[in-house]
Amino acid sequence: MEQQTPKKRFATFTRKDIAEKKSKLTPASTKNANASAARLFSTFLKAKGENINFEEYSIEELDTALSDAYLGLRTEKGELYRGKSLEGFRAGLSRYLKSAPQNKTFDIIKDVEFCQSTESYKVAMGEIKEAGKGDIRHTKTICEADRIKMKNSLHLSPHTPVGLANKIQFDIRLYFFRRGGENMDQMTKDTFAIKRDENTHRRFVIKVKDELTKNHRGGDEEFFSGIMPDTGDEFCPVQSFERYIHFLHPNCNRLFQYPKASFLNDDTCWYQNKPIGLHCLRNFMPTLSRLCQLSDNYTNYCIRATGATILAENSFGVADIMSVTGHKSVSSLAIYQRTSQNLFTLLIPLTPSGA
């Protein structure tokens, strides 16, 4: 009888395995930004006749090269970059140098050894502001008139497969403050669940599956991410969600599925055994803006900005808002502080009144 090898209690990983696991914690968008910054720096060095392998530079050589780059970088049209673009280049290059396989231990932004390039960066940002390119461009919010127009549109009707699918996606993006297309294509039927509040006995939809996002990485618990409340009307997000889950294709576990081309009201399934891809999810709000003939061509980020703006207009504090949007830049307080006890009061204003 062949003797079985005893199962080891602990896992063993090579340094390469560990590096790959760490790499998975970095969002793809951040990796792309890092690589883009590195390519731009190499292109700048090549144009100056310098060694493009800046990863091999000494700290002094890198400081000098960065000092020249901050002042000399231009767009393909030969124009100054915007302040945000130069800031993004600097941050992306810093992350690139620290990531595998470079694994640099220095920091081009914080370390005193890079004082020369830091001064050049400040000068460059000053020149950018003088040129009128240092302005902050805020994400647009969807005006109330357009939100009412969408709500009354056939394209968000809860009584058709297409309308119901659009409504659910919009509700999820709005109430859970989704960032663009982040993880939307990975959501499944059990990403969210319907719960009942112990005090008010009102139902609400809450996200029950944790996920990695730009602001929420491995090692920190996701305390709260918003809710969809029971509004008690025809367009109630909870009723729509319950109806949507009921009509999804039983053999497809993905949350967002393509609607059937035709349907009957008494059909048990309104959707195909075919999940909606990331490309369509990313173009959700621009497509909806065109179909509903809204006053502006809104992006998915506009939905997130709309939710945060409405909460601010309804006198909710920064910590309350951050605890549902996931932002961490203002204060770490929101990581430990939940929203107001009355969650329904917090989120019901997201539905346009008088619509």
Q: Are 131 and 80 in contact (CB under 8 A)?
A: yes
Q: Are 288 and 166 in contact (CB under 8 A)?
A: yes
**Domain boundaries, given as residue ranges, for the chain:** 15-130, 144-350
Bridge partners for 206 per DSSP: 193, 227
How sure is the predictor about 339, in pLDDT bands with cuts at 50, 70 and 90? very low
Beta-carbon count within 10 A of 149 CB? 18
- pLDDT on residue 137: 60
Instruction: Write out pLDDT tens, residues 306-317.
Output: 877 776 555 444
Alpha helices (H) in the chain, listed in sequence order: 15-23, 28-47, 59-72, 83-98, 115-130, 144-151, 161-175, 237-247, 278-282, 284-291, 300-313, 318-325, 333-336, 343-347
- pLDDT on residue 17: 79
**Six-digit token string for 192:** 């969210």
Instruction: Write out pLDDT tens, residues 194-209.
Output: 999 888 888 999 998 7
Query: How far is 215 from 218, CA to CA, in rounded Å?
Result: 10
Which pairs count as long-range contacts for 130-133, CB under 8 Å and 24+ apart, including other chains? 131/80, 133/80, 133/81, 133/82, 133/83
How sure is the predictor about 328, in pLDDT bands with cuts at 50, 70 and 90? very low
Bridge partners for 259 per DSSP: 271
Q: What average pLDDT does the chain have?
A: 82
Query: How far is 258 from 265, CA to CA, in rounded Å?
Result: 17
State how beta strands 257-259 and 271-275 pair.
antiparallel
What percent of the chain shows pLDDT beyond 70?
A: 79
- pLDDT on residue 355: 52
Minimal CA–CA distance to 182: which of 96, 99, 300? 300
Instruction: Write out pLDDT tens, residues 257-270.
Output: 999 988 888 899 99
The contacts of residue 332 (CB under 8 Å, 6+ apart) are: none
Average confidence (pLDDT) over 234-253: 95
Q: What fold does the segment set 144-350 form as a domain?
A: hpI Integrase; Chain A (1.10.443)
Q: Is the confidence at residue 29, as pLDDT, over 60?
A: yes
Instruction: Write out pLDDT tens, residues 66-92.
Output: 999 999 999 999 999 999 899 999 999
Burial 122-146 (b: 16+ CB within 10 A, else e): eebbeebeeeebbeeeeeebbeeeb
Query: How far is 132 from 63, CA to CA, in rounded Å?
Result: 27
Q: Which of 5-9, 33-37, 72-76 is least confident? A: 5-9
- pLDDT on residue 158: 93
Instruction: Write out pLDDT tens, residues 85-127.
Output: 999 999 999 999 999 889 999 999 999 999 999 999 999 999 9
- Comparing 159 with 3, the larger pLDDT belongs to 159
Average confidence (pLDDT) over 331-339: 33
- pLDDT on residue 331: 37
Average confidence (pLDDT) over 239-252: 96
